[in-house]
Amino acid sequence: MTEQVRLSIIPSVDLVLGLSALEGVLQNLGREPVKIAVRNEIQKLRIELSGQTGGSTDETREQLADRIAEAVLHTLKSASAPLLRPVFNLTGTVIHTNLGRSRLPDEAVAAMATAAGEAVDLEFNLESGSRGDRDSQLEKLLCELTGAEAATVVNNNAAAVVLSLNTLAQDREVLISRGELVEIGGAFRIPEVMVSAGCRLKEVGTTNRTHARDYESGLSERAALIMKVHTSNYRIQGFTAAVSESELASIAEAAGIPLISDLGSGSLVDLSRFGLPAEPTVRATIESGADVVTFSGDKLLGGPQSGIIVGRADLIARIKSNPLKRAMRVDKTILAALLAVLQLHRDPEILKTRLPLLVDLCRSEDDIRLAVERVLPVVREALGSAFEASCIACKSQIGSGALPMEMIPSYALAIRPAMGGGEAQLSELTARLRSLEKPVIGRLSDGVLLLDLRCLRDEQGFCEQLSQV
Ligand SMILES: *Cc1c(COP(=O)(O)O)cnc(C)c1O
């Protein structure tokens, strides 16, 4: 067969588009995306049939058309699956950055959906009928919850830090302890953030010990700001010294410059009231004299991705009028969710029952152990004799750098290969769990797969899926 003859058998785009197999997708997706997919498949076939080695085929034109239609359906199906798939987070890390951090409370999800689907009074004052400020409602709530004079919000805490530094210390020096030059993960490293914000880093003290006199001797007329960074993802232990916020506040005040504190997780409520490890609250940081405080909306606050800046009214006003603020502002759906989450924070008892983050963190060991015991028989049955499953005590962590040393006792399903099995078998199992309709994500620890059930809400859905493993 000559190449020309081989290629002449390739069906036309219109022939394939006319097949009844494609009727459904044509109706759902419209003609254009289906046509593109058909063209791509035809192109693949052309390459297949025109290869140097002369790939030939005994298929008829009609058979080839059917083959193309089938391939088109397959690609369109995987392409039209939602891009963000829900998963079971059984990693034991409650605020898991790679899994989207905090799950939002129902109130926030509903508020987001409304804001997404409707016109809203985002920057419109309904009383006066004139233009309003998109931060005004949020500011009122944040001031009430933190005791600060003013507040604003941007896309995430990294943006909050960059914007604050750029506004308050561009081309000038920012004093910071050598013990606080942290890397948060990703590309967020304090020395580099300083540079991108246009500030000069002035390191003071040492890695393990920094004293008040170090800050004082580091001050000069070039200094614009003293910064404190909450070392959220690690801890220096042993022979250490750091200067408290209140002492730093008086040093800054005497020098006539502001003190900024990057809290990272920043909780609005004292977590110890829920029996959780204590983390500095935003209110306490403001009370100890910080002029500006930045923190994440989706770490211990349990809200949507956002970065919150609270503090002195004159400084917040400058931050809000920085042109960069416009490049970092949050959209209406985020604002709606954040407002709903902050609203819940007004009453810690309500918060405890409604905020998924706190519900997960406060779940009792007994409750989790009972859940493990309930699903254990289902897991054993699904895995068969190749694996051994048991219930073991384990430790969950809060995650996202919050309280890195504080682990919370929990229970997990522990799955190991039965006698004779090895690591390969276990990694095959984890791959199969990841390929489920709602993927199950656990963690491997010393040759054992741990599924920490602290964050498992849909026990039934989890069990029903297991039969497909
Ligand atoms: C997490 C964290 C950040 C970055 O916050 P994002 O909301 O992830 O942008 C900055 N500083 C500290 C101390 C943090 O812990």
Extents of the domains making up the chain = 3-80, 88-96+360-468, 106-354
158 Cβ below 6 A of ligand 1 = yes
The CATH topology of domain 88-96+360-468 is: Aspartate Aminotransferase, domain 1 (3.90.1150)
Mutate to test the pocket of ligand 1, among 154, 163, 181, 188 (most ligand atoms within 8 A of CB): 188
Pairing of strands 223-229, 259-264: parallel
> Ligand 1 center to residue 260 CA distance, Å?
14
Whether the CB-CB separation of 75 and 378 falls below 8 Å is answered with no
Question: Could you tell me the pLDDT band of residue 53, with boundaries at 50, 70 and 90?
Answer: low
pLDDT in tens, 341-365: 999 999 999 999 999 999 999 999 9
> Ligand 1 center to residue 438 CA distance, Å?
29
Question: Could you tell me the pLDDT band of residue 279, with boundaries at 50, 70 and 90?
Answer: confident
Tell me the average pLDDT of the chain: 92
Phi-psi region for residue 171, left (φ > 0), alpha (ψ -120 to 50) or beta?
left
124 Cβ below 6 A of ligand 1 = no
Position 52 scores a pLDDT of 54
pLDDT in tens, 209-236: 999 999 999 999 999 999 999 887 677 7
164 Cβ below 6 A of ligand 1 = no
Second-level CATH architecture of 106-354: 3-Layer(aba) Sandwich (3.40)
- Summarize the confidence of residues 291-308 as an average pLDDT: 96
Position 404 scores a pLDDT of 60
CA gap 336, 141 in Å, rounded: 13
Question: Could you tell me the pLDDT band of residue 96, with boundaries at 50, 70 and 90?
Answer: very high
Position 359 scores a pLDDT of 96
Instruction: Tell me, yes or no, if the two domains 88-96+360-468 and 106-354 fold the same way.
Output: no
232 Cβ below 6 A of ligand 1 = yes
Q: Whose CA is nearest to atom 3 of ligand 1?
A: 264
105 Cβ below 6 A of ligand 1 = no
CA gap 175, 157 in Å, rounded: 20
> Ligand 1 center to residue 393 CA distance, Å?
30
pTM: 0.88
pLDDT in tens, 149-183: 999 999 999 999 999 999 999 999 999 999 999 88
Starting at the edge strand found earlier in the chain, the sheet holding 200-204 runs 150-154, 307-311, 292-296, 259-264, 223-229, 173-177, 200-204
- Please check the confidence at residue 277 and state whether its pLDDT lies above 90: no
Q: Whose CA is nearest to atom 2 of ligand 1?
A: 264
- Summarize the confidence of residues 59-75 as an average pLDDT: 92
Q: Which atom of ligand 1 lies at the shortest distance from residue 185's CA?
A: 1
